[in-house]
């Protein structure tokens, strides 16, 4: 739209300007996730992170959580090497909506660590956009804490027929990991075909204290295809197919040593010895068809419609080291069908209006096979866990951005109905059907006072309805507890007030935000005392409160050397009168400092230090001491690379040498599912310490 392009140009003066060469200036940072259309970040009354593809590759992460670690307002939850899930402002798992190219993956994932972080190969990522704070107006259920949109690589149409490609190779010493990717884009004036593939294979990694964390390795394959075609002027069709597959995903927080067989542990028989929950394979398949119509009317209208099917095939197994076999298995399909229609238009001067409808349905009927001492724990007893489980969502939304002389206003509202039902659910009493009626809304304003000071304020409310498995699955989860589900859980509601500012003072750019979130009916798991097996009851807390502050700072020391700083502080409290204590698993405060030197050609380097405070605010009563205090730690990472010009058949090449955890520090993240009881249960149970020092080498070429 012409209005959006004009807005981006007008606001350039209030944005960081990066000199790439003597005669070229970078455009303002843009986001497609925050507003539902492409817009400058400074037009957004919210805290936004955009991590470009170069930074994703430099961080050499195996999962999304690895890449996001250290970003302001973001931390990670850990239950294994692959289970490194993102946390935004203290909200985690389904409280944060994760999108892959705009398609949600939360609706189909079990409530286990690692599900969100492990479905996309990081070598296929073009950029990651992180919106902190409630975003339910545009994205509905699950976006109460924020949205993370993982945008994969792809090309655009070109005036002349053209073929371009890229490839990468990498190695990491801490886990003897190898990785590689290959992609090609064949384009012309009316079509473009993108094909890409990636592979990752890592062994058990070494911790800072020198031991190998057993079963922390994994293997991943990915294959993506996209075809865009302009069928007529103003009409475009797009087909997308993606497959991402992981093998050998071990949830190490579930590991426990039993001195004798226990017929009651986690709701099923368990043999003596070392037992671990794991996933032999997990696969995400996506098929999506999108139609875009540039109406070409006086309102500059754009109509977009998308239909998709996304399927997760996931194994949930329990392994006995002594028997060298599984004693419990469950192979489950989670299928989500979705539809979204969005209309973007400017019916009035200086307005950008976005309205639409969205609906999706999740289906699953998981079955478990259990073993017992009578049959040497061979998993043959068939146990249906949920029969004909369904979760359905239908919604209407509207958002209006109003661009005045030096103020941008944003108003939005959304209505959702989320309906859950199941024919039967193991150990769950009826009724097994319920419907949530949710109204989300947002208000925000940005004052473009001066390039040095652009303050904003927002007040918004988002929601999250309980997931399918929180409603109907009473079973052993990866955190080592059997969770007692509840079909009648109320939806969580997060009302957040945020005040912030962005600006540029000479060679310095900054962002700062403070916020308070009041969460009604917060969903958590209360440990049941006296239960035969470790059990948590899924409950609604009357209220939880989280307040915090974040900042990021960039200062150009020279035309090619920039100093970086960012920090996060937050506090969470359980305001339910039964507990009145810190909120369960709140990340500690942290500070990052760095230096960055870059250029389009030649040498580039980066050095960063991350300091994390100790965390002694633990939920002792609510969690029954399953949350442990964590000591503070400091880590340092360095990277040196060289960018080559054309040569050897390549348009560009880049070779990077990186050392992570330079001082080989031994530490663990605070939000860690390994309970002290499991850690002390017997031989073979290891603390989930972070990886130690690692030397990484990455080569990237474009042809």
Mean pLDDT of 42-54: 90
- Alpha-carbon distance of 500 to 513, in angstroms, equals 4
Give the number of domains in the chain: 1
Q: pLDDT class for 479, splitting at 50, 70, 90?
A: low
User: From CA 466, how far away is CA 472, in angstroms rounded?
Assistant: 10
Per the CB < 8 A criterion, the answer to whether 377 and 371 are in contact is yes
Tokens 């935000």: give the residue: 513
pTM of the model: 0.93
Q: Could you read off the pLDDT of 217-227 as tens digits, one per residue?
A: 999 999 999 99
Question: How much is the mean pLDDT over the chain?
Answer: 90
DSSP code at position 26: P
**Of 168, 287, 202, 293, which Cα lies nearest the Cα of 239?**
287
Domain interval for residue 602: 2-702
334 vs 56: CA distance, rounded Å: 29
* 8, pLDDT greater than 60: no
CATH code of the domain covering residue 187: 2.40.170.20
Sequence-ordered list of residues with C-beta below 8 angstroms from that of 374, at least 6 positions apart, any chain: none
pLDDT band at 28 (very low <50, low <70, confident <90, very high): low
- What is the reported pLDDT for 5? 39
Tokens 């009651």 locate to: 264
| Res 449 pLDDT > 70 | yes
pLDDT digits (tens, 9 = 90+) for 292-346: 999 988 899 999 999 999 998 988 899 999 999 999 999 988 899 999 999 999 9
Residues paired with 143 in a beta bridge: none
84 band by pLDDT with thresholds 50, 70 and 90: confident
- Mean pLDDT value across residues 165-192: 97
Q: Is the pLDDT of residue 468 over 90?
A: no
């Amino acid at each position: 739209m012409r209005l959006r392009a004009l807005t981006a140009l007008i606001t350039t003066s209030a944005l960081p300007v990066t000199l790439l060469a003597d005669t070229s200036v970078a455009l303002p940072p843009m986001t497609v996730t925050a507003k539902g259309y492409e817009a400058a970040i400074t037009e957004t009354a919210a805290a936004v992170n955009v991590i470009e593809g170069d930074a994703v590759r430099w961080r050499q992460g195996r999962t999304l959580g690895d890449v996001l670690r250290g970003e302001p307002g973001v931390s990670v939850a850990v239950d294994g090497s692959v289970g490194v899930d993102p946390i935004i402002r203290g909200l985690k798992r389904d409280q944060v909506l994760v999108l892959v190219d705009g398609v949600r993956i939360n609706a189909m994932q079990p409530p286990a660590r690692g599900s969100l972080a492990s479905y996309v190969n990081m070598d296929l990522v073009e950029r990651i956009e992180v919106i902190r704070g409630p975003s339910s107006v545009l994205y509905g259920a699950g976006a109460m804490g924020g949205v993370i949109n993982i945008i994969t690589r792809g090309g655009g149409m070109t005036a002349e027929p053209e073929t371009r490609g890229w490839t990468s190779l990498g190695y990491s010493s801490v886990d003897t990991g190898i990785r590689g990717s290959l992609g090609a884009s064949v384009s012309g004036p009316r079509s473009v075909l993108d094909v890409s593939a990636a592979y990752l294979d890592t062994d058990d990694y070494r911790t800072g204290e020198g031991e190998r964390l057993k079963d922390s390795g994994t293997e991943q394959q990915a294959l993506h295809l996209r075809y865009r075609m302009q069928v007529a002027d103003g009409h475009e069709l797009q087909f997308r197919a993606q497959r991402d597959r992981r093998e050998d995903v071990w949830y190490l927080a579930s590991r426990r040593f039993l001195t004798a067989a226990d017929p009651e542990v986690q709701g099923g028989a368990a043999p003596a010895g070392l037992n671990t929950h794991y996933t032999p394979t997990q696969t995400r398949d996506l098929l999506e068809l999108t139609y875009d119509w540039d109406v070409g009317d006086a309102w500059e209208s754009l109509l977009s419609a998308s239909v998709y099917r996304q399927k997760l095939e996931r194994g949930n197994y329990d392994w006995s080291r002594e028997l060298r076999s599984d004693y419990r298995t469950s192979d489950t399909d989670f299928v989500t069908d979705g539809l979204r229609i969005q209309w973007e238009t400017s019916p009035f001067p200086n307005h950008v209006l976005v309205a639409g409808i969205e609906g999706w349905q999740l289906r699953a009927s998981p079955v478990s096979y259990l073993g017992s001492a009578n049959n040497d724990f061979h998993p043959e007893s068939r146990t249906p866990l949920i029969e004909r489980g369904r979760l359905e969502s239908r919604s209407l939304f509207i958002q209006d951005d109003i661009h005045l002389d030096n103020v941008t206003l944003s108003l939005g509202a959304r209505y959702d109905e989320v309906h859950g039902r199941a024919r039967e659910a193991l150990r769950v009493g009826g009724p097994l059907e319920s419907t949530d009626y949710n109204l989300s809304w947002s208000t925000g304003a940005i004052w473009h006072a001066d390039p040095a000071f652009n303050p904003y304020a927002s007040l918004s409310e988002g929601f999250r309805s309980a997931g399918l498995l929180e409603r109907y699955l009473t079973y052993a989860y990866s955190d080592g507890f059997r969770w007692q589900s509840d079909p009648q859980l109320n939806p969580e509601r997060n009302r957040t007030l945020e005040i912030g500012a962005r600006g540029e003072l000479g060679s310095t750019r900054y962002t700062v935000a403070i916020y308070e979130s009041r969460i009604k009916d917060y969903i958590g798991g209360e440990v049941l005392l006296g239960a035969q097996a470790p059990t948590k009851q899924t409950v609604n807390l009357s209220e939880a409160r989280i307040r915090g502050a974040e900042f990021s700072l960039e200062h150009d020391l020279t035309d090619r050397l920039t100093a970086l700083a960012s920090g996060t502080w937050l506090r969470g409290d359980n305001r339910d009168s039964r507990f009145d204590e810190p909120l369960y698993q709140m990340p500690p405060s942290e500070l990052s400092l760095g230096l960055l030197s870059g250029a389009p050609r030649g040498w580039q380097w980066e050095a960063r230090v991350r300091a994390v405070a100790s965390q002694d605010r633990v939920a002792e009563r609510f969690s029954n001491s399953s949350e442990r205090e964590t000591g503070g730690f400091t880590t340092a990472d360095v990277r040196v690379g060289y960018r080559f010009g054309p040569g050897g058949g390549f348009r560009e090449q880049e070779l990077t040498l990186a050392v992570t955890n330079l001082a080989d520090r031994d530490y663990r993240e605070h939000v860690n599912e390994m309970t002290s009881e499991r850690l002390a249960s017997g031989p073979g149970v290891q603390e989930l310490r972070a990886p130690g020092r690692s030397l990484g080498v990455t080569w990237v070429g474009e042809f």
